[in-house]
Structure 1
Amino acid sequence: MKSKLWIVIILGLLLLSPIASANEETSPIDQLNALSDEALQLTKSKRYGDAKKILEAFSDKFSSVTVKENTFTMDELRIVTIAHNEAIEATTNVSMNPDERINRVTKFRLVIDAISTTKHPLWTKMEEPILAVFDEVKEAAFNGNQDAFYTSLNSFLSLYEVINPSMKLDVSTERFQKLDTRINYINHYRQDVLSKQNSMKELLILENDLQSIFDDLEADETEPSLWWVIISTGSIIIVTLSYVGWRKYVGEKERRKNRSI
């Protein structure tokens, strides 16, 4: 009986394991994702010539996938093309600052990840540094420290520029445009932020909008997985208890039968 019970439990646990695909080959989009990551790692190592070759290989592969599978929207094609061109420039422009080179290829890497995954996009990992820098922006503004405000605001804008296109792919158009407009307003009227109370309130609104986007995306990713675990685990328990109950019923029935003989 115990061996049969373990068989039932094991079969139930197998339901939690991802079903292996019949085709073990890496999908074209995964190959593109891997190429973008390799280009970024090479750029970080200052192997710009090798990174450029990888980006060129990406271009050929991307064109092939676009023609054959037609899996990308016009917005995705436009955003990928712009990010790819900037990444190519980062590997060939010898006068560009090394940090800027990394930022541009990172932007490209995040874009490809955003179109290749539906869960946990890499750009959301930027939440902590972006909000930390924004805290510095807010503190400098409230203290009226112009130099610190400009420095921290420029740092924030640099980080935002890195995640801007990938965020645009994952956030609704209306919500993204609202956030982007508010950031551009603060940048354009940065002097007013230090002198006008209403402008300083924009910082608090912007902080809330940023936090809300990160929180909502995280909630959307987590809840389905949680429900899947609850449902799957509950199914195993139900199957196991049903089997135990059935065996108990059969055993009790046999004992009654033996007593009557």
Structure 2
Amino acid sequence: MLKKFILTIAVLFVVLHFPVYAESSSSLEQLDSISDRALEMTKLKRYGDSEKMLTYFSDRFLKETAKEQILDMDELRIITVAHNEALMTIKDMNKGDSEKVNSVTKLRLVVDAVKSTHQPLWTEMEDQMMSSFQQTKNAAINQDTITFNSQLNLFLSQYEMIYPSLKVDLSKETMQQLDTRIQYINQYRPEVINGNESQKELDEIQTELTSIFEEMGEDDTDPSLWWVIISTGSIIIMTLSYVGWRKYKGDREKPRKQHVD
């Protein structure tokens, strides 16, 4: 009886501690699913359906954020900007297929970045981004202007796609430092190609990108979740230990009672 009582308390402890967390997680899962569906429609060039999904996303987004505080102000603003851009791009008849896919992908990635606590989707772009940047760097060293501009443009389009997600997952200091360096090589392309000092910026960017991707691949589970897991585990261990001690004590007292009788 006592064992059941203590275990019940442990379960209630978890349930009462996580109602907001569970509800927030559910809300973000819904938004994530809608953005994923919108991206699928865009890749299939079903732009009418994609527009409907993005409009539905907006409706759900407004309802969920009005109902509960699942996002901070920065996340709210970043997702809103990404969504508005995606919807405008889908509606624009002058935008190409790749532009539309990239724009909706940007929204998809940032919603996932807000939802995920470990290895967000944008980290899967590591190989192609690092490859594009390495070729940009090689072209600068060889003073190959055509290849340099081509590969840098490709890298910048990839960077633009994950930019909102980076703002969600990186500190403001790290984001500002990285963005300043990238904007420098974009703005001063001739100097980067012709100057050894400017090319050092490429080394710094490569080092920063490598560090960022490696760091985001590490386990960064929510500390509050670990606290509850540890606390709940402790309660269960204490319960089992107490029950075991009572059983041990009862077994030792049985011979005494029999002897007295």
TM bucket normalised to smaller: 0.7 to 0.9
TM-score, structure 2 length as denominator? 0.76
Distance 1:33 1:71 in 2: 13
1:202 maps to 201
Q: Secondary structure in 2 aligned to 1:95?
A: coil
Q: CA deviation at 1:40?
A: 0.3
1:169 maps to which residue?
168
Runs of 4 or more consecutive aligned structure 1 residues displaced over 6 Å after TM superposition? none
Matching residue of 1:62: 61
Q: Unaligned 5+ residue runs, structure 1? A: 1-20, 225-261
**Number of equivalent positions:** 256
Compute the displacement of 1:191 (Å). Answer: 0.9
Partner Cα separation in structure 1 for residue 193 and residue 113 of structure 2:
36
Give the unaligned 5+ runs of structure 2: 1-18, 224-261
- Correspondence for 1:106: 105
**How far apart are residue 185 of structure 1 and its match?**
0.5
Q: Deviations for 1:175-200, whole angstroms, at most 9, x for unmatched residues? A: 01100010001100011001111100
> What CA distance in whole angstroms lies between the structure 1 residues aligned with 2:70 and 2:102?
27
SS in 2 for 1:144: coil
Q: In the alignment, what sits opposite 2:186?
A: 187
Find the aligned partners of 2:194 and 2:141 in 1 and give their Cα distance. Answer: 10
2:134 paired with 1:135: yes
SS at match of 1:219: coil
Identity of aligned residues (%): 48
Cα distance in 1, alignment partners of residues 219 and 210 from structure 2: 14
| RMSD of equivalent CA atoms | 4.1
Rounded Cα–Cα distance in structure 1 between residues aligned with 2:70 and 2:43:
30
Give the distance between the partners of 1:161 and 1:93, measured in 2 at CA.
19
Query: For residue 37 of structure 1, what is the aligned residue in structure 2?
Result: 36
How big is each residue's C-alpha offset from its partner over 1:84-111, in whole Å with a ceiling of 9 and x where there is no partner?
Answer: 0111012111111101110000001011
> What's 1:218 paired with?
217
Q: For the residues of structure 1 that align with 2:78 and 2:203, how far apart are their CA atoms?
A: 29
Q: Which moved more, 1:200-209 or 1:67-76?
A: 67-76
Give the match for residue 155 of structure 1. Answer: 154
Q: C-alpha offsets along residues 104-146 of structure 1, whole Å, 9 cap, x if unaligned?
A: 000010111111x233311111111110110110110111100
1:118 matched to 2:116? The reply is: yes
Aligned to 2:251: none
